[in-house]
Amino acid sequence: MKKVVIVGAGFGGLRAARALSGKGLDVLLIDRNNYHLFHPLLYQVATASLEQESIAYPIRALTRCWKGVSFRLAEVCGVDFEQHRLVLADGSVDYDYLVVSAGTVANYFGMESIERNAFDLKRLNHAVELRNHILGSFEKASKEPDPELRKALLTFVIVGGGPTGVEFAGALQELIYHVLDKDFPELVATQKRIILIEATDRLLAPFPADLRNYTAKQLREMGVEILFNAKVSSAEPERVLLADGTVIPSHTLFWCAGVSAVPLAAHISTNRAANGRIRVGPDLTIPGHPEVYVIGDLAYLEQDGGPLPMTAPVAMQEGEYAGNAIVHKTRGETDDPFRFRDKGSMATIGRSSAVAFVYGRKFAGHFAWLVWLGLHLLYLVGFRNRLLVLLNWSYYYFLYERQVRLITREGEGGECR
């Protein structure tokens, strides 16, 4: 029986595993975590909209339903192509076919000060840490006598005008002005600032111009400050510095301005493209190694004159293609080159407000927001998770309340000496 090893239980890895289940193959799914994480909603954990458990699902609960698929919790350190062996932190695994879907990490472009002082949202614990920090900043501000320091504690800088930056800015604004202002009446008179910084002259670059303009207009009406053509040069714990010399007193810097390949990519001997992503052929395999597939954000493949975007729909379609291609290879069959079918893009801005560009048609406002809600519920793994998310969203929508305002790190209240 041929053995297939899949690295990474993200959108692509899960689709590949499901495509391979029940096909007479021995499939092993490996991940550093024992759960699948729904990354598009991480920012809602950080802004106290959702519990962390509602966007994560145990991998073993999935694999036990897929015939021939098993799971191993491990850190992957490298690949030995000649021996067809995967090197793990706690051993090794041989394979006949390999699917690598390990994802990306935040890219700080070599700016160590930003890496030290910024938050990002790539893992579940990152979202919890950011939520702790935001709520902790309000607690500190509530007892801070210095008005300038109090203002800095309540200034939140977001770098990156893509979907993550836009969605986080809108969600943070709603948390502050609909919930935290009621929790901290002593801070109502203190100015709170949410500053969204974008290095170019536009938000949501892949979207049509009118949807981009609508997004900027909505955020500004909500109270979010937008700085276009601005770049962050460095950061310190209590301030953010821009390339033009501007200094923004702030204790919170959220970075979503770029990603790069996971460190595993550096241990895979093959050609790499921008940000360390691995160049793959039209069939998603590494040149010279037809048994090795690279999919998802880690894979670099151009289509129609440009690289495929690093989005969940691309990863899911690539995962399904890779799984089916392996099945066909074991039968001596061949496949056509991979072709991404772009169904569109969308982003939520805030309450009853979103933008969507689907099949060439543009939507904005309440209808786009409803479509965004429905698709995210559809793609969540697990009925319980869908139900929890729907209940949380409904509770907040009708009552303007968020229940997950928990600071889960110790020491926020100080220590007795």
Name the percent of the chain lying above pLDDT 70.
99
The four Cα atoms 162, 346, 337, 87 give a dihedral, to 10 degrees, of: 50
pLDDT at 411 over 80: no
Q: Looking at residue 87, what DSSP letter applies?
A: E
* Rounded CA separation 254/166 (Å): 12
Name the percent of the chain lying above pLDDT 90.
84
Answer with the residue of higher pLDDT: 149 or 413. Answer: 149
Sheet strand arrangement including 232-236: 232-236, 239-242, 247-249
> What is residue 268's predicted lDDT score, i.e. its pLDDT?
84
Contact 222, 173 (CB under 8 A): yes
Active site residues: 167
pLDDT at 228 over 80: yes
Locate CATH 3.50.50.100 in the chain. Answer: 112-257+344-399
Answer with the residue of higher pLDDT: 19 or 396. Answer: 19
pLDDT at 406 over 90: no
> What is residue 18's predicted lDDT score, i.e. its pLDDT?
96
Summarize the confidence of residues 117-122 as an average pLDDT: 94
Locate CATH 3.50.50.60 in the chain. Answer: 3-32+74-106+259-330
Element (H, E) at 41: none
pLDDT at 343 over 90: no
> What is residue 350's predicted lDDT score, i.e. its pLDDT?
92
User: Which CATH class for the 112-257+344-399 domain?
Assistant: alpha beta
pLDDT at 417 over 80: no
CA distances to 247, 319, 336, 360, 372 from 342, rounded to whole Å, are: 41, 15, 18, 10, 16
pLDDT at 403 over 80: no
pLDDT per position as a tens digit, 256-292: 998 988 988 888 888 888 789 999 999 999 999 999 9
Apex CA 267: angle with CA 325 and CA 21, to 5°?
Answer: 25
* Rounded CA separation 158/161 (Å): 8
Apex CA 7: angle with CA 2 and CA 13, to 5°?
Answer: 90
Summarize the confidence of residues 42-62 as an average pLDDT: 95
DSSP assignment of 49-74 = SS-GGGGEEEHHHHHTTSTTEEEEE-
Look at residue 281 and give its three-state secondary structure: coil
Contacts of 68 (CB under 8 A, 6+ apart): 20, 21, 22, 23, 24, 25, 26, 27
Summarize the confidence of residues 380-398 as an average pLDDT: 91
The four Cα atoms 86, 87, 91, 93 give a dihedral, to 10 degrees, of: 0
> What is residue 297's predicted lDDT score, i.e. its pLDDT?
94
> What is residue 402's predicted lDDT score, i.e. its pLDDT?
82
pLDDT per position as a tens digit, 78-98: 999 999 999 999 999 999 999
Residue 361, classified by CB atoms within 10 Å of its CB into exposed (0-12), middle (13-18) or buried (19+), is: exposed
Summarize the confidence of residues 90-115 as an average pLDDT: 94
* Rounded CA separation 238/270 (Å): 42
Average pLDDT, the chain: 94
> What is residue 400's predicted lDDT score, i.e. its pLDDT?
83
pLDDT band at 360 (very low <50, low <70, confident <90, very high): confident
pLDDT at 188 over 90: no
> What is residue 78's predicted lDDT score, i.e. its pLDDT?
92
Q: Which CATH architecture has domain 3-32+74-106+259-330?
A: 3-Layer(bba) Sandwich (3.50)
> What is residue 270's predicted lDDT score, i.e. its pLDDT?
85
Q: How far from chain centre, in Å, is Cα 328?
A: 32
Contacts of 20 (CB under 8 A, 6+ apart): 4, 6, 27, 68, 69, 323, 326, 327
pLDDT at 295 over 80: yes
For residue 262, give both structure tokens: 């996971």
Summarize the confidence of residues 165-175 as an average pLDDT: 96
> Quick one: which of 119, 75, 102, 107 has its CA closest to 9?
102
pLDDT band at 254 (very low <50, low <70, confident <90, very high): very high
How much is the pTM? Answer: 0.94
* Rounded CA separation 414/322 (Å): 53
Q: Which ranges of 156-208 does DSSP label H, i.e. alpha helix?
A: 163-174, 181-183
Sheet strand arrangement including 26-31: 69-73, 26-31, 3-7, 97-100, 289-294, 285-286
pLDDT per position as a tens digit, 310-322: 999 999 999 999 9
> What is residue 408's predicted lDDT score, i.e. its pLDDT?
87
For residue 207, give both structure tokens: 């979207």
CA distances to 106, 115, 157, 164, 317 from 194, rounded to whole Å, are: 21, 20, 6, 14, 36
pLDDT band at 179 (very low <50, low <70, confident <90, very high): very high
* Rounded CA separation 204/27 (Å): 38
pLDDT per position as a tens digit, 1-44: 899 999 999 999 999 999 999 999 999 999 999 999 999 999 99
